[in-house]
Structure 1
Amino acid sequence: MTDRAIGNDFTQYVKILGRGKKGARSLTVAEAEHAMGLMLSGQVAPEQSGAFWMLIRIREETVEETVGFTKATRDYLSKKEPLGTKVDLDWPAYAGKRNELPWFLLAAIALANTGVNIVMHGHTFEGEDRLYVESVISQLGLPVCQSIEQARQALIKSHFAYLPLAKVDTMLGDMMDLKYVLGLRSPVNTVVRMMNPFFADHSVHGVFHRGYDELHLSACEQLGDPSVLVFRGGNGEAEVNPERDVTLGKWQNGIASWITWPKAEKQHKRLKDDLDLSRLTDHWCGNQLDPFGEQAVRQTIASVAGLLYGVASHEECLVLADDIWAWRDKAWLGCSV
């Protein structure tokens, strides 16, 4: 079958998006769902896919499009090999850090130490001036799972598993890699944060751009998701920047809520020129309190613990975070105990 024949059903969606200022419109939920389904099933030519994503990126995706893309992706993933064990928390990590270490990784591991089953998934763009969590996990000697079975075993053993996006699904990995050809990130970045590939009970989304927190929460409402936390985090990761106020959006028990926590650090303590990973291990082991990491980890644990245990008060969330941190298994990162 030729590329022309492959893409016939998809042509309508490129036309809808690209008819010009007066003729173009956004997609309905059903249209977005069908379009994404066609792409995931390999029925779309590469040129069409690139044009489609860039046309949407110019004006940014709508809530309806996000819902449709996510529904199609979840339906597609539901037909793949099941993980075979329950996941409590879905943690997408796609942004990479520019000017600090990924302190959210320590928050996730500390939560996993309490028995919370966490699957973290992400993607690495080679050649970018970003520190991706996959690289950090590998350098710290923790496993990067290369299959669904490895992820299952990691959860059974330690309650934490990291999977590269391409190991979740090669098609989604290829979609993300369109950036190498197009030069820009696409709305696929929103899809992979929203997709919750192993249907966890809870999910935490970090976003960078203003307004995307509202988009995520509105989409979660339409999708009927059970429990989601979304906020504008450090460099777009799900990590509370302690040097800024943070507004946490939560969709839980059929109710949307927003609460703003004041910044935990009044002084600038970020060490953007020191990305030595020993800062992570020293802080985890208790050898040295990191001036920035201490509050980044504490506030991040507090925000996620509030979601997991239905706690809204900042003070109560901090009490939970301190307990979780105190009970961490220092041997995880090779500390002498």
Structure 2
Amino acid sequence: MRPDHGVPEKEEAEPEHPFAPFIRTLGRGPGRSRALTREEAREALRMVLAGEAEPVQVGAFLMLLRYRGEDPEELTGLVEAARGAVKAGPVQPGHGGVDLDWPSYGSGRTRGAPWFLLAALALASAGHRVLMHGSNAFTSGMPVLDALPMLGLRPARSRDEALERVEETNFAYLPLRAMSPGLDEMLHLRALLGLRSPVNTVARLINPADAPAGVDGVFHPPYIAAHLGVAQRMARPRLLVMKGGGGEAERGPAKPVAAHLLTYPDVEVLSLPALRETRASAAGFVEVWTGSARDEHAEGTVIGTIALGLLAMGKASTPEAADAQAAEIWNRRFG
């Protein structure tokens, strides 16, 4: 037996985890780190959603993405992985499809009722097929999930059920947790990490039913270019992006706003005028929908938001025409 001279045996190097290169690429340091390529980002999020990354790696990955800023090429790969996970794509034959994709992932601290939901329902009453999807877990206002039963509606439990609902009623709401539990879990890491991650952007851009048009609200104007950049790389036909109330695709009536409309491959900036000088009030959400209560600010918000959908779908040629048509749709929402 060899005598023990107190020299420790050499430890064998632990093999590197397959996900580690993605974190290293993002976090090497000034002058050495870089954004992931589209292909790298697609594979990285695929691994995360397949459970092939450790929890500590997922947290580091999300925060490095956040710290570096949202790169359109990188985001495109992330969106492609998310679409693969939710089996996004064209609607199967036999279904009428979806006209308008409406993501709802706002978490603004000043949000009240989701007036944009009434706009989507009014568009549905006019024959436009709308699929809304989202999560409002961090909003201080009324989440869509709480508003639906107030209107006699319920969320879909799967993408297939959502498409059936759209076929029957022209509208469905698909919660992110039903569409992708993995993405929903990543979104909820905000409570642990203290910061919003790019998953919020990724979820907004999934377009689960390949609708030819979409409306998209952001909280900070710099995100507009990133959202449009992804849409262009994915050759989406039409997408309207704007800074909306609480980060939602919602247009307040009292101030003019700029809307960025992608008609692939070009982007046009539309100047949407103020509709009416009003101030927010405490009008009842259901009462405004049924017409049992009148509120100029709430109704102006809904009408202005209906116009966003019309412009996104190309159903109106100018903002003024969209506003006029939107008012008519709202006034005739019950036939």
TM-score normalised according to structure 2 size: 0.88
Q: 1:55 and 1:131 mapped to 2: Cα distance?
A: 31
User: Structure 1, residues 142-179: CA drift from partner, whole Å, max 9, x if none?
Assistant: 11222334323322321111111011111111111212
User: Structure 1, residues 197-250: CA drift from partner, whole Å, max 9, x if none?
Assistant: 121121111100121112111221111111111111011001012233211111
Q: Partner of 1:335 in structure 2?
A: none
Write out the 4+ residue segments of structure 1 that deviate beyond 6 Å after TM superposition.
Answer: 79-84
Q: 1:156 and 1:210 mapped to 2: Cα distance?
A: 35
Aligned residues: 319
Alignment of 1:175-186 (within 5 A): 175-186=186-197
Alignment of 1:186-265 (within 5 A): 186-265=197-276
Aligned AA for 1:318? D
Greater Cα shift, 151-160 or 289-298:
151-160
Secondary structure class of the residue paired with 1:260: strand
Q: Verify the 8 A CA contact 2:120 2:130 in the aligned structure 1.
A: yes
User: Structure 1, residues 289-328: CA drift from partner, whole Å, max 9, x if none?
Assistant: 2131111111111121122135341111112212211221
Q: Verify the 8 A CA contact 1:100 1:270 in the aligned structure 2.
A: no
- Compute the displacement of 1:288 (Å): 2.7
Structure 1 or 2, whichever has the larger Rg, is 2
Q: Verify the 8 A CA contact 2:241 2:259 in the aligned structure 1.
A: yes
Q: 2:319 and 2:209 mapped to 1: Cα distance?
A: 29
Q: Partner of 1:119 in structure 2?
A: 131
Q: 1:152 and 1:103 mapped to 2: Cα distance?
A: 23
Q: 1:33 and 1:149 mapped to 2: Cα distance?
A: 24
Aligned AA for 1:232? K
Q: Verify the 8 A CA contact 2:104 2:136 in the aligned structure 1.
A: no
Greater Cα shift, 81-90 or 167-176:
81-90
CA spacing shift, 1:310–1:9, aligned 2, 3 Å: farther
Q: Partner of 2:167 in structure 1?
A: 156
Secondary structure class of the residue paired with 2:36: coil
Q: 2:245 and 2:136 mapped to 1: Cα distance?
A: 17
Greater Cα shift, 151-160 or 165-174:
151-160
Q: 2:88 and 2:276 mapped to 1: Cα distance?
A: 46
Sequence identity (%): 35
Q: 1:324 and 1:266 mapped to 2: Cα distance?
A: 21
Q: Partner of 2:157 in structure 1?
A: 146
Q: Verify the 8 A CA contact 1:96 1:131 in the aligned structure 2.
A: no
**Equivalent of residue 325 in structure 2, options 315, 320, 326:** 320
Q: 1:253 and 1:19 mapped to 2: Cα distance?
A: 36
Q: Verify the 8 A CA contact 1:96 1:133 in the aligned structure 2.
A: no
Alignment of 1:13-92 (within 5 A): 13-78=22-87, 85=95, 86-92=97-103
Structure 2, unaligned stretches of length 5 or more? Answer: 1-13
1:270 aligns with 2:275: no
Q: Partner of 1:334 in structure 2?
A: none
Aligned AA for 1:270? A
CA spacing shift, 1:159–1:323, aligned 2, 3 Å: same
Q: 1:144 and 1:211 mapped to 2: Cα distance?
A: 31
Q: 2:306 and 2:59 mapped to 1: Cα distance?
A: 38
Q: 2:256 and 2:327 mapped to 1: Cα distance?
A: 20
- Compute the displacement of 1:41 (Å): 2.0
Q: Partner of 1:292 in structure 2?
A: 297
Secondary structure class of the residue paired with 2:224: helix
TM-score normalised according to structure 1 size: 0.87
Greater Cα shift, 47-56 or 70-79:
70-79
Secondary structure class of the residue paired with 1:9: coil
